[in-house]
């Protein structure tokens, strides 16, 4: 029997609620499959840990995480700590050193979910976000802090190697899909250094993928295209910042932030990859048991795929879609009243073949 070691980091806010639900669903998925077990260890890192220890996770956290096969992450952020502290102290503190450079974010209209585009067209995209450099490289600085003459700089840092590897990843992904289409998103008219390099790298490597059709859009035009011509898009590759914004839009177009999943991949598997719902801690609803766990479940599907458990992944995705398509009560972000627990039980019932 195969065993996969999973590090669960629920983090803050509704992250703790949806990861608990996701672990229950994963346990059922493994039991139903029968071919593998999950050895889960949970790490209570996040804002409570920060308030006690002055850091979001222990100093040796990366050493602790390294032997795991995957990381299942909730969210980082809490009103008691500035957002940039929690983000840099936990999520980015794992993504960057573990070289999880390909952030993969599928967006699809699941059965039964009313996105704004339902009835207009179908939507089936994968956004590939560069995840280790660019606008979130952390470069920049502030001088004369607090004074009228203060200067603040956030510098986007792109390396040719970093750009090429994420673009190649996106080409490889596009080739596995029926449409075999890849859209490059940049802002190379206004930003004339790194963004132009993105365009040049794309032009230089696309000949290696003759089976993939390509096009190029500026990020501002991309927002309108996603809304007005969504059927012209398939796989999308963009920088850290641009893809961050576009994937929130994609999540809204597919129904709700609450259903959207993401995988932070280290494709070479030198380090564990990390799987998480794209939503944040959602303080407005935390502790009420009403968070939508579907984003965490779909992230669990991506984790199972990455662990090589394709059959269990497909079964879990099917259970999710059979629940959303059944016309039962949905969670609040999708216009219903269902609690986290009810959604979890509904998906588990499908997994167990009881519904």
What are the residues binding ligand ATP (CB under 6 A)? 14, 18, 75, 77, 83, 257-258, 279-282, 284-285, 291-292, 295, 331, 333
The minimum distance between CB 14 and ligand ATP, in angstroms, equals: 6
Binding partner selected for residue 247 from ligand ATP, Mg ion, none, CB under the kind-specific 5 to 8 Å limit: none
User: Which stretch, 49-57, 166-174, 276-284, 326-334, contacts Mg ion (CB under 5 A)?
Assistant: 276-284
Nearer to ligand ATP, 72 or 171 (CB): 72
Q: Is residue 293 involved in binding Mg ion (CB under 5 A)?
A: no
| Residue ranges in 311-350 that form contacts with Mg ion under rule CB under 5 A | none
**Nearest residue to ligand ATP, scored by beta-carbon proximity:** 280
280 binds Mg ion, rule: CB under 5 A:
yes
Question: Which range touches Mg ion (CB under 5 A), out of 55-63, 239-247, 278-286, 324-332?
Answer: 278-286
Is 267 an interacting residue with respect to Mg ion (CB under 5 A)? no
* CB 17 to ligand ATP: min, Å: 9
In terms of CB distance, is 83 or 231 closer to ligand ATP? 83
284 binds, among Mg ion, ligand ATP, none (CB under 5 to 8 A by kind): ligand ATP
Q: Which of 77, 89, 7 is nearest to 282 (CA)?
A: 77
Interface residues with Mg ion (CB under 5 A) are: 280
């Amino acid at each position: 029997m195969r065993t996969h070691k999973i590090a669960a980091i629920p983090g803050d806010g509704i992250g703790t609620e949806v990861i608990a639900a996701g672990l229950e669903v994963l346990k059922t998925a493994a039991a139903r499959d029968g071919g593998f077990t999950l050895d889960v260890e949970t790490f209570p890192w996040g804002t409570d840990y920060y308030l006690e220890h002055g850091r979001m996770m222990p100093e040796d956290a990366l050493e602790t995480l390294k032997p795991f096969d995957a990381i299942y992450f909730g969210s980082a952020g809490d009103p008691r700590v500035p957002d940039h502290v929690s983000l840099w102290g936990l999520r980015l503190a794992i993504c960057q050193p573990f070289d999880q450079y390909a952030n993969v974010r599928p967006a699809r209209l699941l059965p039964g979910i009313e996105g704004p585009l339902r009835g207009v067209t179908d939507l089936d995209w994968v956004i590939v976000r560069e995840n280790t450099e660019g606008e979130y490289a952390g470069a920049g600085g502030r001088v004369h802090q607090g004074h009228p003459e203060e200067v603040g700089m956030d510098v986007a840092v792109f390396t040719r190697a970093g750009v090429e590897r994420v673009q190649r990843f996106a080409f490889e992904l596009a080739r596995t899909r029926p449409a075999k289409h890849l859209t490059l998103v940049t802002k190379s008219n206004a930003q004339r250094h790194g963004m132009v390099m993105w365009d040049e790298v794309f032009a230089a490597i696309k000949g290696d993928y003759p089976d993939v059709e390509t096009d190029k859009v500026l990020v501002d035009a991309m927002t309108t295209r996603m809304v007005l011509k969504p059927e012209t898009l398939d796989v999308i590759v963009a920088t850290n910042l641009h893809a961050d914004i576009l994937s929130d839009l994609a999540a809204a177009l597919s129904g709700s932030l609450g259903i959207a999943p993401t995988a932070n991949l280290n494709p070479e598997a030198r380090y564990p990859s990390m799987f998480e719902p794209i939503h944040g801690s959602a303080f407005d609803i935390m502790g009420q048991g009403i968070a939508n766990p579907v984003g965490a479940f779909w992230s669990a599907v991506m984790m199972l795929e990455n662990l090589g458990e394709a059959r269990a992944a497909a079964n879990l995705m099917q259970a999710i879609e059979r629940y959303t398509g059944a016309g039962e009560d949905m969670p609040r972000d999708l216009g219903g009243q269902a609690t986290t627990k009810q959604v979890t039980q509904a998906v588990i019932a499908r997994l167990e073949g009881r519904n």
